Structure 1
Amino acid sequence: MNSAGFVFRRARDGVLLIIAVVVLNFFLLSAAPGDIADVLAMQAGGATSEQVEGIRKELGLDKGVFSQMITYVTKVAQGDLGQSLFYNDSVAGLIAERLPNTLLLVLPAMTIAVVLGTLLGVLSAYRPRGLFNMGVTLFSLVGFAAPVFWSGMVLLIVFAYWFPIFPASGMYDIGAYPSGFDAVLQVAHHLVLPVISLSMVYLAQYSRQARATMLDVLGSDYVRTARAKGLREKAVVYKHALKNAVLPVVTLAGLQFSHAVAGAVLVETVFNWPGLGRLAFDAVLNRDFPLMLGLLLVSSVLVVIVNILVDWLYSVLDPRIKMEG
């Protein structure tokens, strides 16, 4: 099967999966305790029972759950994600405004974690009894055990308060309205601590995975054969062993992309980064169901896209893997 056919088939399956996710999310949020109309009434300072009933009717909450679900799915199919109850703005507009900020945080963090984690794992596997291997193992254990919000707060204390090298929150300096290259520099400066905080736990996991896989690959028959032929050690490690060793890391990264987006909620809250994570935090606090449903939908679409790219990358890294059923 060629690349176009593979992508089309996976995209078709992805659309069916997203439809199922939309329906499931709607029923799960509908089953949550509490009433949106009561929450809106409390936010407005109180309301009579007639006014609460009017809110329910305006939002369509007086209809059955199945009727509400059909209405919602129909609107989503037309590109309408609804209106945010808390922000009183279009859900699609809010997500479109914040999505680039989240991708700007998650993609560099995952890239650093995959590349640096794989490199550390490969180097430690090449010298399994050296001090470098002990250091990588210790770092992996600490990084894997440390919660992402805890590491974020430690980075804030050390590098924003004790040694004020990096800013503590936001995307831009307070009171600054930069443009052009100055804006890029400010965003990059504010992005350093959140990216390090988010990437640390994944970097630890990928280094452990790469080390374990590399040790297994270096002990395989074809590697011993390559060495017996007189190939240089660097060629054996980086040309023959690395491609097979990196496949499990790519798999793990694809599976954990959704986890990284979820982890961004905590990181964005700690560093006050204006992304989808902060938006989701506000939506949960204010029981903004349309916004929560929209965020879950966008997260599902991102995960499906990343998994399609990972499957395609498999065939690029290892030609023996065919893009077939």
Structure 2
Amino acid sequence: MSRKFSGARRYLFSRLLQVVPTSVVIVLLSFILMKAAPGDTVDVIAGESGGATVEYMQELRQLYGLDVPAHEQFWNFLVRLVHLDLGYSFRDNMPVVDLIWSALPATLLLSLSAITFALVVGVALGVIAARHRGSWLDTAISVLSTIGFATPLFWIGLMLIVVFSIHLRWFPVAGLSTVGMAYDGFWQQALDVARHLVLPAFSLGCFYLSLYVRLTRSAMLDVAGLDFVRTARAKGLSEWRVTLRHVLRNALLPIVTVTGLHLGGLFGGTVVIETVFGWPGIGRLAFDAVAARDLNLFLAIFLFSSLLVIVMNLLVDFLYVLLDPRIEVGR
């Protein structure tokens, strides 16, 4: 046991050492892509204001530190990063860290709601499809999951807005809460936020739900034919107990891996959904940063996202040990 935990500590330390170079490479690639786009934030500001003199634009570039070569701009960003300073947003004229922290709760609420919905419903449907393999129920679930996997997120979001917001008027069109509404208490505010959350969370969760259905069904069928499952049936255990306690538990290993990767990379989907539904989260903040060529904000969001992916991968590795004690983290 002590040898196992010693190997886990060595593995954790080696993975943590990879965080710095990995993050720097990701930020560097993001910086190159941003610089490859035409124009900068000063050009955007000048365009929105209807024009500006060359002298005024030069003063703005000096003020924002954009008058120096690209490699110096990147080096200045790394130096500030060492001092835990993400800089100021050129567009909003406020610290980048404040913008990210203000948008983070909305994105976490949307992401966790979507992934929870996708996991619960997707795994349940995958178990049902595996238990009724070859039946009409299995076929119907497989067809629906294929449609959900192939349908673009933005199209799902737009159709939900048309049906449930415009025609039926069951849910709000956009935003996190009703503008100008005076809440009587916490529960009224929570209910209002929940009504705004339903459509974007369902839209984002549909794609991941389809993946979990297919993955759960495949993993369940692979595990169902193993020896220990036949032994459990031979002991007289009920079929549902064998399915849930023996088959599903071992089938969860690939699901845990995929879920961890999804949690880390969920911001890619939230960019689309947050833009469609006007959700004030990090995804929409990243979209606005690209549109405004806000370099500091853009790099900080990519850095934050990359660190989240790395942390989630570490958590997945240790969850493997909890689900299957035969796995050693250190290897």
Would you say same fold, with TM above 0.5? yes
Find the counterpart in structure 2 of residue 280 from structure 1: 286
One-letter code aligned to 1:187: V
- Structure 2 distance, partners of 1:59, 1:190, is 37
Post-superposition Cα deviations, 1:1-51, rounded to whole Å, max 9, x if no partner, equal 436665454334334422332233223322333244333333333223233
Question: What are the within-5 Å matches in structure 2 for residues 281-300 of structure 1?
Answer: 281-300=287-306
- Structure 1 distance, partners of 2:310, 2:265, is 13
Structure 2: which 5+ residue stretches go unaligned? Answer: none
Post-superposition Cα deviations, 1:191-227, rounded to whole Å, max 9, x if no partner, equal 1111111101110111001101111111223222332
- Structure 2 distance, partners of 1:270, 1:185, is 21
Q: CA deviation at 1:57?
A: 2.4
Find the counterpart in structure 1 of residue 49 from structure 2: 44
Paired-residue identity, %? 44
Find the counterpart in structure 2 of residue 138 from structure 1: 143
Could you tell me which of 148, 151, 154 is aligned with 2:159?
Answer: 154
Find the counterpart in structure 2 of residue 104 from structure 1: 109
**Does residue 1:20 correspond to 2:16, yes or no?**
no
| Change over 3 Å in CA distance of 1:313–1:32 after alignment to 2 | same
Q: CA deviation at 1:170?
A: 1.3
Q: CA deviation at 1:64?
A: 2.4
Find the counterpart in structure 2 of residue 269 from structure 1: 275
Could you tell me which of 143, 152, 172 is aligned with 1:167?
Answer: 172
**Does residue 1:313 correspond to 2:319, yes or no?**
yes
Contact residue 118 and residue 246 of structure 1 kept, 8 A: no
Post-superposition Cα deviations, 1:36-89, rounded to whole Å, max 9, x if no partner, equal 433333333322323322222222223222222111111112221121122122
Greater alpha carbon shift after TM alignment, 93-102 vs 182-191: 182-191
Greater alpha carbon shift after TM alignment, 269-278 vs 12-21: 12-21
Could you tell me which of 278, 281, 304 is aligned with 2:310?
Answer: 304
Contact residue 122 and residue 214 of structure 1 kept, 8 A: yes
- Structure 1 distance, partners of 2:21, 2:321, is 24
Find the counterpart in structure 2 of residue 247 from structure 1: 253
Post-superposition Cα deviations, 1:75-105, rounded to whole Å, max 9, x if no partner, equal 1122211211221221111111001100000
One-letter code aligned to 1:37: V
Find the counterpart in structure 2 of residue 30 from structure 1: 35
- Structure 1 distance, partners of 2:179, 2:69, is 48
Find the counterpart in structure 2 of residue 54 from structure 1: 59
Find the counterpart in structure 1 of residue 213 from structure 2: 207
Find the counterpart in structure 1 of residue 15 from structure 2: 10
Question: What are the within-5 Å matches in structure 2 for residues 170-249 of structure 1?
Answer: 170-178=175-183, 179-249=185-255
Q: CA deviation at 1:159?
A: 1.5
Contact residue 283 and residue 289 of structure 1 kept, 8 A: yes
- Structure 2 distance, partners of 1:269, 1:20, is 27
- Structure 1 distance, partners of 2:171, 2:62, is 50
Contact residue 272 and residue 283 of structure 2 kept, 8 A: yes
Greater alpha carbon shift after TM alignment, 32-41 vs 209-218: 32-41
Structure 1: which 5+ residue stretches go unaligned? Answer: none
Report the secondary structure of 1:322's partner residue.
coil
Report the secondary structure of 1:110's partner residue.
helix
Q: CA deviation at 1:283?
A: 1.6
TM-score (ref. length: structure 1): 0.93
One-letter code aligned to 1:60: G
Find the counterpart in structure 1 of residue 123 from structure 2: 118
One-letter code aligned to 2:109: L
- Structure 2 distance, partners of 1:4, 1:192, is 41
Could you tell me which of 64, 89, 93 is aligned with 1:88?
Answer: 93
TM-score (ref. length: structure 2): 0.91
